[in-house]
Amino acid sequence: MSEVIGRGAEAVLKKEEFMDGYCVVKERLKKGYRVEELDEKLRKERTKEESKLLSEARRVGVSTPQVYERQENVIKVEFLDGDKVRDLVPEYSEEEREKLAEEIGTCIAKLHNRGIVHGDLTTSNMIVKDGELYFIDFGLGYFSKSVEDKAVDLYLLWEVLDSTHPDYRDELWESITESYKETCDSSEQVMRRVDNIAKRGRYVSDR
């Protein structure tokens, strides 16, 4: 059985039977506007990078889907039958949201300490299964020690909270950043840069 469960600009996601359960097969799509050889090279490199990011994240204590196989432009990972954080936020009590947000902040800090930038920190890319928080879809991720890159990673999450969870934005952001500061080695510099990015954004929007 194969079922398409997601389709984006970069890849198509399929749910397939695997051993005694299911897996997610992610295949990066060809880009007709790119030279064929370059397109093939980029898709292979990005698939390899995503596989490495998922494995490295697990090594530093951030739960991610287990990588089963990687071939050329296709990566096969564990299917997580859980709930997206996006859907849980409005259902949770204030205490549950606070605990979840603190865990999110700690996980992001662990990634950043290892030099992993997720690249797409949305509450749709976080899943809770059996009480455990997982980060998924590192397709836009990369390795970087840059304070700017880490700050942009966080600021994009702020924008997601602002647009997707406006009623809970402030409480979530406070808990996320407080736990981030407690765990991230470069939190002071990163949070300063986040503030600068926010000011730049407000300046542009006010022009």
What ranges make up the beta strands (E) of 59-175?
Answer: 67-71, 74-78, 83-84, 116-117, 126-129, 132-135, 142-143
Nearest Cα residue to 190 out of 142, 166, 158, 162: 158
Q: Catalytic positions, please?
A: 120
> Is 80 in a helix, a strand, or coil?
coil
Nearby residues of 150 by Cβ (< 8 Å), 6 or more positions away: 112, 117, 144, 184, 186, 190, 193
